[in-house]
Amino acid sequence: MSLPIRNVAIIAHVDHGKTTLVDELLKQSGTFRENEEVPDCVMDSNDLERERGITILSKNTAVRHHGTLINIVDTPGHADFGGEVERVLGMVDGCLLIVDANEGPMPQTRFVLKKALEKGLRPIIFVNKIDRARQDPNIAVDKVLDLFIELGADDDQCDFPYLFGSGLGGYAKETPEDESDNMEPLFSAILRHVPPPVGDPEKPLQLQVTTLDYSDYLGRIVIGRVHNGTIRAGQQAALVKDDGKIVKTKITKLMGFEGLKRVEIEEAAAGNLIAVSGFGDANIGETITDPNDPQALPLIKVDEPTLQMTFMVNDSPFAGKEGKMVTSRQVRDRLMRELETNVALRVEETDSPDRFSVSGRGELHLGILIETMRREGYEFQVSQPQVIFREVNGQPCEPFETLALDVPDAAVGACIEKLGTRKAEMQNMEANGMGRTQLEFVVAARALIGFRGEFIRMTRGEGIMNHSFLDYRAMVGEIESRYNGVIIAFEEGTATYYSLQNAEDRGSFFITPGTKVYKGMIIGEHNRPQDLDLNICKSKQLTNHRASGGEELVQLKAPEEMSLERALEYIGPGELLEITPESIRLRKLAKKKMARR
């Protein structure tokens, strides 16, 4: 007899503690041996997820508790990966919404909760981080209830169960005053409030593809939920494509989830979450079904991209010096391989064989792809990110975002002023009485390109900024995002201390003495709106006379750090970002000064 099943997704705003909580559920369910060394955020499996402290891809795991198999799906919290959340909610029968006791519901909380309520799920609320809250955690519950009502939840959904606890501390409790040192109250709440899966194992097979994975050994792997019927390894099955076409094939391998591993199984009945290989051209939303009685489930709609960039072969004077994969064929093959698993991405070939149009959900989404390729040894260039415009009822429209800022009181005026110049509309302003203020805006997505760096400077690194896609609205006209020109290297060579020191009053630099530069490379930001060409390789002329005071050590101003995200936000029209495994360089598209006019 098969085990009783519960399927639950863990949803929350970014950095509210989802992955840490899953770590504790895995540990306390006996998934790991007593002497097994387990890293923090064990579900964040790739290097970028660990470095950035964010979940990029949704992941499945399963734990056993009191004879019940609990399938858990850990979802991303960042708005750029919202499409992942939307899809996996169709695999589960309940969800655990995690809210930070101090911050309360945030923009992405609204997005994921709205999707969960639309699916008819009744969330369990877990108020996390109560061990470091600066205020009453019950206030967070009240704010969540307000959000439920605002999103049109029915009476049953508004009567949600809630618990308090700490994922890091490893405990959950029904009231803040209770004593607890484990997650047993949370396990009990999941078993009590998440309904068992509905599905008939006797009906014809229906499995919907919700996530894609890829293995060099097995090829494309599809992950989904068996809605009806029973699926067996080696059986014949049919794939109903999104255009209605039916492709018959054989299921080569069937895998279930056990802890962090995929384990090979012989069969799975309705309600199970499984991974299947044998469907090389399956896509998100398509249905694996009985070949004798093919019945498709309603298609899942994948979020459309909102941002577009051009990827191109590196043609700078330093091309090919630092990367291994530099040709257009290698870049093209890598982008096409990314499409195997990254369903929110679009790649289109252009008129030029060495340029590719790549569209994604946001700067972070595309930035993750660029950083991954760079670490794999690829060398290429990208253009300025551009928002994707659409026509709605014959009128040109652009994507708008909900922007939430949490800033020190002293920075409120500067933030409102700066966003006013970017044509943002303020929706709400709330001071918490402890030196910080929450601001809410509706703003065009293109107005946010380049804003993060300014925001960090205005708040001296103390501000918190979050945004999520709202909808498409009428265009707001021209938005000026960069007010200063750039400083451009005048010739190829090595930057000298002498030249940088003499030019310090012209602006701020992105480079240090000893940096190799070439003609047309952007090396700093000018103090004025115009671009400035500068000879940065000039060295001090030596004479046989020692100047008075010439031996004094003069410190240069610290250069402005250009991380990948900062550089993507910074580049403007007619500028490119050169990406290599070792360097990130900004440059002008045209190398000659006359050609840039």
- The full DSSP string for 23-52 is HHHHHHTT-S-TT----SSTT--SHHHHHH
pLDDT tens sequence across 101-134: 887 777 667 777 877 888 888 889 998 888 876 6
How far apart are alpha carbons 200 and 166 in whole angstroms? Answer: 38
Measured CA to CA, the distance from residue 62 to residue 256 in angstroms comes to: 9
> In terms of DSSP bridges, do strands 171-173 and 162-166 run parallel, antiparallel, or are they unpaired?
antiparallel
223 marked among binding-site residues: no
In whole angstroms, give the CA distance from residue 30 to residue 64. Answer: 8
* 495-499 average pLDDT score: 86
Residue 35: exposed, middle, or buried by beta-carbon count in 10 A (0-12, 13-18, 19+)? Answer: exposed
Do the annotations mark residue 418 as ligand-binding? no
The model's pLDDT over 333-350, given as tens digits with 9 standing for 90+, comes to 999 888 877 777 889 888
Token readout for 346 is 């679009």
Please tell me the predicted confidence (pLDDT) of residue 1: 43
Ligand-binding site membership of 129 (annotated): yes
Reference 225, options 185, 274, 167; nearest CA is 274
pLDDT for residue 48: 47
Quick one: pLDDT at residue 547?
Answer: 53
Q: How confident is the model at residue 77 (pLDDT cuts 50, 70, 90)?
A: low
How much is the average pLDDT of 281-306?
80
Give percent of the chain above pLDDT 70: 86
- The predicted pLDDT at position 302 comes to 65
Average pLDDT score over residue span 86-109:
80
Instruction: Return d(Cα 142, Cα 326) in angstroms, integer.
Output: 55
| Residue 274 reports pLDDT greater than 60 | yes
pLDDT score, position 465: 78
Q: Is 372 annotated as a binding residue?
A: no
pLDDT at position 552 is 46
Q: What is residue 51's predicted lDDT score, i.e. its pLDDT?
A: 47
Q: Tell me if 305 sits within 8 A of 343, measured CB to CB.
A: no
Taking residues 16-22, what's their average pLDDT?
76
Q: How many CB atoms lie within 10 A of CB 1?
A: 3
| pLDDT of residue 290 exceeding 50 | yes
The Cβ-side half-sphere exposure at 93, using a 13 Å CA radius, reads 22
pLDDT at 59: 62
Highest average pLDDT, of 26-40, 207-221, 411-425, comes from 411-425
pLDDT at 356 (0 to 100) = 92
The whole-number average pLDDT for the span 154-181 is 86
Q: Name the pLDDT band for 38 (thresholds 50, 70, 90).
A: very low
Domains in the chain with CATH codes: 5-193 (3.40.50.300), 206-289 (2.40.30.10), 304-388+480-597 (3.30.70.870), 390-474 (3.30.70.240)
Burial of 226 (0-12, 13-18, 19+ CB in 10 A): buried
60 is in an annotated binding site: no
Rounded Cα–Cα distance for residues 406 and 415 (Å) = 10
Instruction: Please determine, for residue 83, whether its predicted confidence score (pLDDT) is greater than 80.
Output: no
Residue 130, annotated ligand binder?
A: yes
Of 291, 269, 298, nearest in space to 210 by CA: 298
Q: Is 397 helix (H, G, I), strand (E, B) or coil?
A: strand
**Residue 204 identity:** P
pLDDT tens, residue by residue, 525-570: 888 888 888 888 888 776 665 554 444 456 777 777 788 878 888 8
Share of the chain above pLDDT 90, in %: 5
Decide which of 53 and 539 is more confident.
Answer: 539
Residue 43 — pLDDT band, cuts 50, 70, 90? very low
Q: What is the mean pLDDT of residues 225-245?
A: 85
Name residue, tokens 């060579």. 493
Rounded to an integer, what distance in angstroms lies between the CA atom of residue 330 and that of residue 592?
Answer: 29
Most confident of 460-474, 517-531, 547-561: 517-531
Is 11 annotated as contributing to ligand binding? no
The residue among 386, 418, 415 whose CA lies nearest residue 399 is 386
Contact 303/86 with Cβ under 8 angstroms?
A: yes
Could you identify the residue written with the tokens 């300025």? Answer: 384
pLDDT at residue 415 greater than cutoff 60: yes
> DSSP 3-state assignment of 321?
coil
Q: What's the average model confidence in pLDDT over 160-185?
A: 86
Whether the predicted pLDDT of 37 surpasses 80: no
pLDDT score of 382: 92
Does residue 311 surpass a pLDDT of 80?
yes
20 annotated as belonging to a binding site for a ligand: yes
